[in-house]
Amino acid sequence: MLSPGLLYEEKRIEALDRHAILDTPPEREYDDVVQLAASLCGVPMALVSLVDRDRQWFKANVGLPGVSETERCISFCTFAIEREELFVVEDAREDARFATNPLVTGAPSLRFYAGAPLQSEDGFLLGTLCVLDSVPRKLTETQRRDLLALKRQVELLLRLRLKVKQTEARNQQLLESSGDAVLLLDEGGAVLELNPVAARLLGGEAGRFLGVPFETLVAPDERETVLRALREVRTHGSARVDNLGLRLHRGERVVMDVAASLQEVGSARRLLLVGHDLTERRRLERQSLQNDRLASMGALAAGIAHEINNPLAFVLSNLNFLHSWREDLERRLAELPGVPEQLQSVLGEAGEVLAESIEGCQRIRDIVRDMRFFSHSSDEAFSPVDVNASLDFALRMASPELKSTARLEKSLDEELPPVLASGGRLSQVFLNLIINAIQAMQPGGPRQHTLCVRTVREGECVRVDISDTGHGIAPEVLPRIFDPFFTTKPAGSGTGLGLSVSHALVEKMGGELRVHSELGRGTTFSLLLPQHARLAEPRPALAS
């Protein structure tokens, strides 16, 4: 446990460090004070000295050129900060504490010292404003008062510096932690700092915007609005601009609501801008409209599926009966002699027609099933599912088409926990994504294309990535790919339900389906599902 003296010293050093002043460049305000102190006290030397752990460092110095610090163990200021009142040594050679001090016996041959302790706002003595001479002397009462008055000016400068640092720290915290775009401008409106959110929204590295006038970042027809707002901030301390369009370096545009405030501490004036990106709000508004539309379409899909399902089952049953009847007839005729070849040909063609009709009806049945699922009419129960096994099943189903299109690269986490889902439905999602990926890489071949499948834990989720090297998805199309009945495939090649059904199923399981795509480089679908908590927990060890 530290003694009271050592504890105070640790706290004092912490207070000194908070000011962040050690080893900083000279500043005119401090230089003016020491010049005035030397003049008023009639001495050749004066210092603003800050006492660090093992040294004393001079923030301002007159009369000791080329000297920036000395060892603390020989410093007069160490004694001066032991008390709050003025510390005076009229003749160091006659003072037992300093008579053998190397600063007395050698250069600069000090004989006189007077130090006024500099006190922090929280009561710690950080250093001194001191005056020195190489001859003995005394201070008049007027000089004592002047020196104490000047030391209060230095204390004011230190406190002002601390407040500036605290403001800067708050601004820095805002820059680093805010989810909004934050920019710090100088008084003229040029960018001094910006946070990662602002850099991302502006579409570039933060460094490329430093020193850039803020008004040049907005759409040309809105620059006067921005300049007027900045003038208002300088005059009244705050301003607000709604729906401000910022111009990205790619030529795109992002819209924000911007609140601006004046940060003013001493002579430093900064303009702090906080911009709230309206993209998310507008996305939510669009999503709300989409949800309303999906609800209507879901009700419609449920009605259509119900109306189609019954007659479809009747037709499919009859077709299967006719197909079996034709096969039976063909077998019986084959046992009879002299059956006309034309009749055999007609029966063969009838078999092909019936097979195509059955296949078509089965396709309609699958579409109806997907429409029923899209309408959330399915009450299929979920159970723990091995994601890797479900993915392997889908890959086997797609294997014939995959082999001729792309190489397969698999990276499956063998320690993957199960998820709560329908094994069949999850395989359906995987198969939809894999078939989409294969089609995106056609025409092509294993030498040109690769399908990458990966499973991994991500926090409390299981993540599945399915990536292709196909043609990619255009940016203007990307927001619509999960819309029901939306497809970019040629007419007759798809219903537009595959991704919407997959998306709905994943959400029903409490998961998320994401997509990232680059034109000409390929697409990655990422499926995130929460781990099945009960089964994901490690089993307790058995007692021996």
Q: How far apart are CA 48 and CA 84, in angstroms?
A: 16
Give the contacts of 430 (CB within 8 A, at least 6 positions apart).
390, 391, 393, 394, 395, 464, 466
Minimum mean pLDDT range among 253-267, 308-322, 338-352, 490-504: 490-504
Cis peptide before 26 (omega within 30 of 0): no
pLDDT of residue 41: 96
Q: Answer whether 90's CB lies under 8 Å from 137's CB.
A: yes
Q: How far apart are CA 355 and CA 349, in angstroms?
A: 10
Q: Are strands 450-458 and 407-411 parallel, antiparallel or unpaired?
A: parallel
| Structure tokens belonging to residue 189 | 């409106």
Q: What is the CA radius of gyration of the chain?
A: 40
Q: Answer whether 114's CB lies under 8 Å from 141's CB.
A: no
pLDDT in tens, 337-396: 877 878 778 888 888 888 888 888 887 776 676 556 545 444 457 788 899 988 988 888
Q: How confident is the model at residue 139 (pLDDT cuts 50, 70, 90)?
A: very high
Who has greater pLDDT, 398 or 533?
Answer: 398
Q: Roughly how many angstroms between the first and final C-alpha of the chain, as a whole number?
A: 46
Three-state DSSP class for residue 303:
helix
Name all contacts of 199-207 with Cβ < 8 Å and 24+ positions apart.
201/246, 201/248, 201/254, 201/256, 201/275, 201/277, 202/246, 202/248, 202/249, 202/254, 203/248, 203/249, 203/250, 203/252, 204/249
Minimum mean pLDDT range among 50-64, 83-97, 508-522: 508-522
Closest CA relative to residue 59, chosen from 99, 111, 95, 24: 24
Quote the strand ranges of 320-398, DSSP E. Answer: 383-385
99 phi and psi angles, rounded to 5 deg = -60, -35
pLDDT higher than threshold 60 for residue 441: yes
Amino acid at 179: G
Minimum mean pLDDT range among 43-57, 161-175, 179-193: 161-175
Who has greater pLDDT, 91 or 274?
Answer: 91
pLDDT in tens, 196-247: 888 888 877 778 889 999 988 888 888 898 899 999 989 888 888 888 887 7
Q: How far apart are CA 105 and CA 356, in angstroms?
A: 113
Look at the block and give the residue holding tokens 């009244």. Answer: 236
Whole-angstrom CA distances from 155 to 30, 137, 427 are: 10, 26, 72
Q: Answer whether 172's CB lies under 8 Å from 213's CB.
A: no
pLDDT higher than threshold 50 for residue 537: no
Q: Name the DSSP letter for residue 20.
A: T
Closest CA relative to residue 132, chosen from 158, 157, 97, 107: 107
Amino acid at 336: L
Q: Answer whether 38's CB lies under 8 Å from 67's CB.
A: no
Mean of the per-residue pLDDT values of the chain: 83
Q: How confident is the model at residue 136 (pLDDT cuts 50, 70, 90)?
A: very high
The secondary element (H helix, E strand) that includes residue 464 is strand 461-467
Closest CA relative to residue 429, chosen from 485, 332, 500: 500
pLDDT in tens, 404-425: 889 999 999 998 999 988 777 7
pLDDT in tens, 3-48: 888 889 999 999 999 998 999 999 999 999 999 999 999 999 999 9
**Mean pLDDT to the nearest integer, 55-64:** 96
pLDDT of residue 155: 94
